[in-house]
């Protein structure tokens, strides 16, 4: 990531979502935003329990509930998980960090104790389904937190260093970390961030591709309609963009990318996303697929090869 505080936030354009909603749930869902700045006020235990209970009642595949949540409140451990998450300030600041994990361990042990057959940890689609479920449980908790005046923000960066998360949280076999949610009382107001319009993400009946003009218009509307959100050209930024492009697609592409930015008069948000922020070359270096898959396999999930019946 290019550390450059003069750049506008990569998350996009701040906006104010207004409107009248038929009920409080819809207002909350439409006006929510991620909170990255927390006050020191701790969360009363009964409030936290009510919020967490919402996760118990979330939809889940087959009502198996293959999720575990590690609640971290110890300041030292929060500091350690913050470091694993790339040092993101909000992770250390939030009085409660929740790490949501896929957990097939409980069910595997249950099956063993009751002499039932079990292949879920050898089935890729089941592993992925559990990943989906974790996100759904986490989001129920996220919205429940909003409803009682708490703020929250996810940190997907725990997936950058899953081995360290497993070690820090003592995760046993068949348990794999997915995402962290920092929870606390907001300090200040939570911004709304501009999103795609509904018709950009909604397709009637079957998938319909936008043409190039429509696609660019949709992204420009979301990110650069306000010139204050533009990433201005300077030689340092262009140099990093060039280096990233050259490493992943070669010299000719790097030259075209920089020329495109110069011609536009600014660095496009997508050049910034993958050229300067989530740098395409570093993402590859740090998280090679085989390393990641090996970590999953080492966690007990033997799901990247065909299953051989007994």
Ligand X SMILES: Cc1cc2nc3c(=O)[nH]c(=O)nc-3n(C[C@H](O)[C@H](O)[C@H](O)COP(=O)(O)O)c2cc1C
Binding site for ligand X (CB under 6 A): 11, 33-34, 36, 88, 153-157, 179, 193
Tell me how far, at minimum, the Cβ of 37 lies from ligand X, in Å.
Answer: 11
Q: Which of 285, 287, 278, 276 is nearest to 243 (CA)?
A: 276
Half-sphere exposure of 240 (CA within 13 A, CB side): 20
Nearer to ligand X, 111 or 296 (CB): 296
Structure tokens at 196: 């795609």
Half-sphere exposure of 69 (CA within 13 A, CB side): 26
Contact criterion met (CB below 8 Å) for 299 and 175 = yes
Tell me how far, at minimum, the Cβ of 139 lies from ligand X, in Å.
Answer: 8
Tell me how far, at minimum, the Cβ of 271 lies from ligand X, in Å.
Answer: 18
| Cβ-proximal residue to ligand X, closest one | 156
Tell me how far, at minimum, the Cβ of 100 lies from ligand X, in Å.
Answer: 10
Q: How far apart are CA 236 and CA 93, in angstroms?
A: 31
Tell me how far, at minimum, the Cβ of 114 lies from ligand X, in Å.
Answer: 35
Q: For residues 142-155, b (16+ Cβ closer than 10 Å) or e, as one string? A: bbbbbeeebbbbbb
Nearer to ligand X, 154 or 242 (CB): 154
Nearer to ligand X, 134 or 261 (CB): 134
Nearer to ligand X, 3 or 305 (CB): 3
Nearer to ligand X, 75 or 156 (CB): 156
End-to-end CA distance of the chain: 48
């Amino acid at each position: 990531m290019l550390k450059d505080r003069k750049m506008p936030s990569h998350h996009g354009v701040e906006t104010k979502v207004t409107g009248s909603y038929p009920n409080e749930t819809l207002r909350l869902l439409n006006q929510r935003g991620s909170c990255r700045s927390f006050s020191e006020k701790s969360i009363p235990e009964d409030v936290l329990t009510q919020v967490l209970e919402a996760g118990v009642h979330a939809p889940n595949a087959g009502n198996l509930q293959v999720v575990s949540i590690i609640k971290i409140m110890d300041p030292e451990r929060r500091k350690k998980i913050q470091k694993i998450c790339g040092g993101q300030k909000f992770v250390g600041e939030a009085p409660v960090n929740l790490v949501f994990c896929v957990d097939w361990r409980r069910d595997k042990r249950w099956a063993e104790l009751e002499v039932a057959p079990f292949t879920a940890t050898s089935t890729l689609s089941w592993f992925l389904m559990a990943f989906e479920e974790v996100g759904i449980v986490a989001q129920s908790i996220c919205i429940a937190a909003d409803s009682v005046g708490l703020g929250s923000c996810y940190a997907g960066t725990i997936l950058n260093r899953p081995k360290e998360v497993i070690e820090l949280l003592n995760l046993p076999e068949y348990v794999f970390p997915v995402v962290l949610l920092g929870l606390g009382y907001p300090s200040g107001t939570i911004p709304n961030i501009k999103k795609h319009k509904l018709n950009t993400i909604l397709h009637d009946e079957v998938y319909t591709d936008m043409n190039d003009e429509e696609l660019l218009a949709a992204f420009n509307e979301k990110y650069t309609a306000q010139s204050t959100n533009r990433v201005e050209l300077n030689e340092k930024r262009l140099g990093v963009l060039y280096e990233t492009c050259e490493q992943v697609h070669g010299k000719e592409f790097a030259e075209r990318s920089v020329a495109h930015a110069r011609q536009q008069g600014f660095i496009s948000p997508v050049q910034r996303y993958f050229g300067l922020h989530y740098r395409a070359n570093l993402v590859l270096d740090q998280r090679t697929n085989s390393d990641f898959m090996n970590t999953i396999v080492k966690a007990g999930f033997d799901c990247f090869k065909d299953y051989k019946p007994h």
